[in-house]
Amino acid sequence: MSEWRISNQELLEDESLLFTGNGYIGLRANFEEGYPGDYTTIRGAYINGFYETVTMEYGESAHGFAEEAQKMLNVLDPQTIKISFDGEVFSLFEGKLLRLERRLDIEAGYAVREIDWISPRGHHLRFQIKRMASFETLELMIIDYQVTSVNYAGEVQILSTIEGDVINYTNVHDPRVGAKHAKLLYAQKSKVSGNIMSMQAATSVSKLEMAVHVTHDLDFYYVMEGQSIGGIYESRLSPGETLSFRKYVAFTDSLRHQNLDKTAEEILTQALQRGIDHWYRVQRAYLEDFWDIARVEIRGEEGVTGAVNYATYQLLASAGKDVYSNVSAKGLSGEGYEGHYFWDTEIYMIPFFTLTRPQIARNLMKFRHETLEYAKADARAMGHPVGAKIPWRTIIGKECSGYFPAGAAQYHINADVAYTFIQYYLYSGDIQFIMDYGFEVLLETARLWMLIGYFDDRERFMIDTVTGPDEYTALVNNNYYTNAMAQYHLHWTYRFSKLVTEKSPDVWEILKNRLGVGELELRKMQRASEKMFLPYSEALKISLQDDHFIYKKPWDFEGTPRDKYPLVLNFHPMIIYRHKVLKQADTVLAHFLLDNETEEVIANSYHYYEALTTHDSSLSACVHGIMASRIKDQQKAYDYFKESLYLDLKNTHGNTRDGLHIANSGGVYMGIVYGFGGLRIKADGLHLSPSKPEAWESISFSVFYREARVKITIDEAIRISVDHPVELFIDNRKYLIEDYLEVTLHDNH
């Protein structure tokens, strides 16, 4: 029955691929009725930002190491619905399965399972089960359950539960998954209030609480047993009849809600009063508005448009919509990386929201401002008397990395966060956001460059002993990516001080006094930016990844079998660090983000480093595809884009079971817009340098730029329509577009 994707491995993948989420809650696509006892499942429900504090354990510790970490929790489970027919419990693994279709409807905003099933005793029934996490009311999740009898006449019993005995998934053999701390959330109390059943749970250390409240639109009666509370409904079915009911679920937590019970009960009362048709209607309306700007269309190759838009939908379903949360590496689809937020958010995910959903981008950036005090505390723990060190991995803003050479040593995340604020300003022109949030973040994080960097005897600004994006190269001097991003960061910190002064001298006086910053400190930052050392090889005409990378022993790629990748799972880090091998884009990523070198250097660097890259990181293929477009290697651009596009859909990295690679979802979008669209934002405005794969007839996408919505189509020409006048550059030639512009590709290449 593998054609139905119900082998254990396929089900684990589909639990991630078809998860239901809205940025606040996420539920893996587990079967409501469960699996056979010998099957493995990662049965999970998650609240973004809800965590427990756990102790960091080291064989040998040292001063300044993180002493504790946060871990995203698998919360109380409201998914279970068991339905029986004359005592026969429905299960896809018994009887005869005539049809199983599962899909995620990204237009309507729900996942659906359609089943045609004959029980062991010959009862023929059809099911349609929909799941929806509301974008209108983020705490609300709905299971819409319909069962139709084909030939069955008899009793039906429904058991709908909240399960309190939940644990987190662990795997001691995979560093990408938590190895310890499975049981961290404890059910405290269950109750029934009218037609609502509820359960509350709490953590031991963080002292956070959460609750699940459930009601149904049929008259269930309720029973409590151990750590489970269930609603029961009994009825009869005749051939041709359909039994329908809705399970309305409200999640609340003490981070956001002062009264868990009251808030949830109000949500569920409103849910019942409005009815299921209302929730489908507002969900579709929300997504119509979203797709109006976010939709990408590719003509000429079947399936690509759907796969791209699937990726962008996952970004929407995973991104936190408030300042208490962000986007974890696996979103809300699984427990990989323990729910931690990385630099993935800034470099791979926020660009999509900046271009299509700026309010979400602002919230994600505000998270870094809200957690700045923790970043300052981390800086002090690492020996820095001033400034802020953005954590490598976190939930609340504290560093959770237990392996500093490839974690906390990645100081570049300070510049990555700053880069996002700068890019947002260039797209939006919103200096008020910089005054309210951005400048403080840029200043405090920039202060660390002035502490860890120094001027050498040739007046070059050097930065030693850091790790760049490439996690296979640790603790190096003058990592090109780090230095180049720090240069950009320092320059814009100084520049924003001038822009704020010009815009609002009074605001600048307040900021200056509150942050203790003066002209001398800012001028030193600008001087460091101007004198930043960016390693370069005159012989190779490439940007050097760091001072010593090119002198390392080459990795034996030909002698490394495919089953030894990813290297991080098969070789000691010291073996990897001694060799000339990359996990992911590093210098190539800097060239993409900053566009700061000549075309010759960019092309030479791309070819040099691409040949040494394993792409063991899901962050790698998309960047190499974008830069292949930049250097006009369209075949490689297409190949890398397809690799990124199907990374999760085809489970090419072998760990989709632990959750989707949400940064790669952002990379898919960037591959279209920044890669084939050639879109960049620079200080002088919006730039395009379009191209497209030969296999495609056209590419279409839309973005927001300043006050305008800009729609771009690339076929034999570049066609641009705007709803407000826009100045932009196409292949460095400036155009003023009043409403529509068409330029043939031939004229621009």
- The two tokens of residue 259 are 């009264």
Element (H, E) at 454: strand 453-455
Q: Which CATH number fits domain 2-293: 1.10.10.10, 3.40.30.10, 2.70.98.40, 3.40.50.150?
A: 2.70.98.40
Tokens representing residue 273 in the block: 């009063």
In this structure, the dihedral spanned by the alpha carbons of residues 454, 456, 461 and 467, taken in order and rounded to 10 degrees, is -70
The answer, yes or no, to whether residue 339 has pLDDT greater than 50, is yes
Q: Give me the pLDDT at residue 349, please.
A: 98
The answer to whether 306 and 12 have CB atoms below 8 angstroms apart is no
Angle, to 10 degrees, between the axis of helix 587-594 and the axis of helix 480-503? 20
In this prediction, residue 169 carries a pLDDT of: 78
**H runs (alpha helix) in 339-438:** 344, 350-356, 358-370, 372-381, 412-428, 431-433
One-letter amino acid at 107 equals: E
Closest CA to 584 of 642, 631, 635, 623: 623
pLDDT, tens only, 197-248: 999 999 999 999 999 999 999 999 999 988 999 999 999 999 999 999 999 9
DSSP notation for 301-318: STTHHHHHHHHHHHHHHH
Ordered by start, the domain boundaries in the chain are 2-293
Whether 634 contacts 625, CB under 8 Å: no
Residues 330 and 662 sit within 8 Å (Cβ to Cβ): yes
| Digit-coded pLDDT (tens) for 464-500 | 999 999 999 999 999 999 999 999 999 999 999 999 9
Work out the percent of the chain whose per-residue pLDDT is above 70: 97
- Cα-atom radius of gyration of the chain, to the nearest Å? 27
Phi, psi of 489, rounded to the nearest 5 degrees: -60, -50
Compute the mean pLDDT over every residue in the chain, rounded to the nearest whole number. Answer: 95
Instruction: Identify whether the C-beta of residue 333 lies closer than 8 Å to the C-beta of residue 16.
Output: yes
**What pLDDT does 748 receive?**
45
Confidence of residue 723 (pLDDT cuts 50, 70, 90): very high
Mean pLDDT value of segment 621-647: 97
Overall average pLDDT of the 355-378 stretch:
98
pLDDT for the residue 173: 56
State the DSSP string of 592-604.
Answer: HHH--S-HHHHHH
pLDDT at 176 over 60: no
pTM: 0.96
Residue 4: per-residue pLDDT: 72
Q: Express each pLDDT in 532-585 by its tens digit.
A: 999 999 999 999 999 999 999 999 999 999 999 999 999 999 999 999 999 999
Q: Given a cut of 60, is residue 141 above it in pLDDT? A: yes
Chain segment 725-734, per-residue pLDDT in tens: 999 999 999 9
**Which residue among 209, 335, 338, 471 is the active-site one?**
471
Quote the tokens at residue 448. 């660390």
- Asked which of 445-449, 662-666, 744-748 is least confident by mean pLDDT, the reply is 744-748
pLDDT of residue 97: 96
Q: At what angle do helices 480-503 and 439-452 cross, to 10 degrees?
A: 140
**How high is the pLDDT of residue 1?**
34
The residues near 535 (Cβ < 8 Å, ≥ 6 apart) are 478, 480, 483, 543, 544, 545, 546, 547
**Residue of 67 and 345 predicted with greater confidence:** 345
The predicted model gives 112-135 an average pLDDT of 98
Beta bridge partners of residue 117, listed in sequence order: 97, 125
Question: What is the predicted pLDDT for the residue at 181?
Answer: 61
Could you report the per-residue pLDDT of 293-328, keeping only the tens digit for each? 999 999 999 999 999 999 999 999 999 999 899 999
Q: Assign 174 a pLDDT band (cuts: 50, 70, 90).
A: low
pLDDT tens-digit map of 65-103: 888 999 999 999 999 999 999 999 999 999 999 999 999
Range 422-437 average pLDDT: 98
Q: Tell me the average pLDDT across 105-128.
A: 98
pLDDT in tens, 272-285: 999 999 999 999 99
The pLDDT of 677-682, averaged and rounded, is: 96
* The predicted structure's pLDDT at residue 503: 95
Query: Using CA of residue 435, residue 441, residue 447, residue 449, what is the dihedral sign?
Result: negative
| Residue 26, H or E segment | strand 25-27
Is a pLDDT exceeding 70 seen at residue 255?
yes
Active-site residue 57, yes or no? no
End-to-end CA distance of the chain: 53
Please give the pLDDT value at position 749.
44
